[in-house]
Amino acid sequence: MIPILDSKRQYATIGEEVEREVVEVLRSGQYILGKHNKALQEELAEFVGVKHAVTLNSGTDALHLALRALDIGAGDEVISVAFTFVATCEAIGIVGAKPVFVDIDPDTFNIDVTKIEAAITPRTKAIIPVHLYGQPANMEVIMEIARKHNLYVIEDACQAIGATYKGKMVGSFGDIGCFSFYPTKNLGAMGDGGLLTTNSDAIKDRVIALRNHGGAVRYYHDEIGVNSRLDEVQAAVLRVKLPHIKDWNEKRRENAYRYNELFASCKDIVTPKELDDTYCVYHQYTVKIPNRDNIHKMLQDKGIGAMLYYPVPLHLQKVHEYLGVGKGSLPVTEKCTEMVISLPMFPELTLEEQQTVASTLIECVESSKVVA
C-alpha cells in the first residue's frame, strides 16, 4: 500500500522535538494565544514577506474573517473558482455574499485570468484566486485587473505555503492571504489551524478583534466576532515544523519532476504544467487521464492511494444550487473534474514507491485503452 500521504514518516523525524515542546506547553498552564502564537505570527510574517500574520483556528476562518475585515457581505459579489475545496466559497456564503464562478485554465487548474473581467459587475467587491495544488495563480494579471476595477484580492493560499510567483511569496500579493495548517497541508499542525497575512495595520487590528469575539479589549465588544484563536499546542508544533518547510517543499518538487520523467513515455497521462517564473510546492501532484473513474478503482485495488480533488465542482454542489449555475456553465472546470487524479505526494516518498506508482498507473491506462 502506497498512501497519498504518510504523516507518520514526517513525525518520525521531528517527533522528539515536538513532544518536548508540547509537554512544555502542557506544563506551562498557558494554552491559548500565548508566547508561541506571538512568536509564530512574527516568524510567519517574515516567512511570507508581509507586515502582519494573524494566527487563527483554520483556513476557512481566515477566508471568512478576510471577507468580514473588508466589510464584504449581503448584496456583494465575490469572484472565485468552482475548481477548489468547498471552504473557498463557503466563506463567501457565510458572510452572505454571492460567489461568482470563473472557469479555470486547463493546464494549471487555476482561475483563467482571461475570463475574470467578463464576470465583474457593479456589485463585485473582491477576487479570491486559489493557488490550487500548490501552484501559484497568475498574480500579475489578477492584481492588474483588481487595480483597474478597484477590487480587493484575497489569496486562498491554503495549499501553497512557500510557493512563489516571480520571486514573491503567495499570500503577499493581495490585500489578504489565507493559509491552512490542517494536518495534511504542506505545513500541517496536529489539529486545526490557520493564518491570515496582510500588509495593512487596519486589517490586522480588525482580524485580531474578530477572532476574539469582536473586541480589541477583553470584555468590550465592538461587533459580532467569532472564537477563532489558535491554541498554544498547535502553535508550538508549527514552530518546530516551520524551519523545515523549505526543505520539505523542495523534496515535493523533486518528487514531482521525477514523476514527470516517469510519465514522459505515456502521452495519455497529462502531467502538471507550471506558469513561467513560479515555484510550485506540489501540495498535490495531479495528472489528467482518460477513463479516470475506472482507473481510480484499479489503482485502489492495487494499493495505490490515489485521490480525486475534487469529485464535484462547487457550482454543481447542492449547497450552490440556489445560484442557478448549471451543468455546462464551466466547461473547463467540468472537464478537469472528470479527468484529474492526484497521486501519492509527500517529501518522504521514495524513488521505489514513485516507480511503483508510475508503472502501475501506466499499466492501468494502457489496459483500460484496450478495453475501451
Ligand X SMILES: *Cc1c(COP(=O)(O)O)cnc(C)c1O
Binding interface with ligand X (CB under 6 A): 58-60, 84-85, 87-88, 130, 156, 158-159, 180, 182, 192, 194
Residue 96, amino acid: G
- Least gap, CB of 194 to ligand X (angstroms): 5
Specify the residue, 55 or 58, whose C-beta has the smaller distance to ligand X.
Answer: 58
CB-based closest residue to ligand X = 59
Specify the residue, 68 or 354, whose C-beta has the smaller distance to ligand X.
Answer: 68
What is the bridge-based pairing of β-strands 194-198 and 176-180? antiparallel
- Least gap, CB of 104 to ligand X (angstroms): 13
Specify the residue, 156 or 269, whose C-beta has the smaller distance to ligand X.
Answer: 156
- Least gap, CB of 85 to ligand X (angstroms): 4
Specify the residue, 109 or 279, whose C-beta has the smaller distance to ligand X.
Answer: 109
**Measuring CA to CA, how many Å separate 109 from each of 275, 325, 360?**
11, 19, 25
- Least gap, CB of 54 to ligand X (angstroms): 14
The cell numbers describing 248, all together, are 520539505
- Least gap, CB of 330 to ligand X (angstroms): 17
**CA 186 from centroid of its chain's CA atoms:** 9
- Least gap, CB of 58 to ligand X (angstroms): 3
Neighbouring residues of 320: CB distance < 8 A, sequence distance ≥ 6: 89, 99, 314
Residue 347, amino acid: P
- Whether residue 111 contacts residue 155, with contact meaning beta carbons closer than 8 Å, is answered with no
Specify the residue, 58 or 360, whose C-beta has the smaller distance to ligand X.
Answer: 58
Give the CA dihedral 251, 257, 262, 266, nearest 10 degrees.
140
Specify the residue, 65 or 269, whose C-beta has the smaller distance to ligand X.
Answer: 65
- Least gap, CB of 157 to ligand X (angstroms): 8
- Least gap, CB of 146 to ligand X (angstroms): 19
Specify the residue, 127 or 295, whose C-beta has the smaller distance to ligand X.
Answer: 127
Specify the residue, 194 or 344, whose C-beta has the smaller distance to ligand X.
Answer: 194
Specify the residue, 152 or 182, whose C-beta has the smaller distance to ligand X.
Answer: 182
The cell numbers describing 251, all together, are 523534496
- Least gap, CB of 95 to ligand X (angstroms): 15
Using the structure block, give the residue that is written with the C-alpha cell 500541517. Answer: 188
Residue 324, amino acid: G
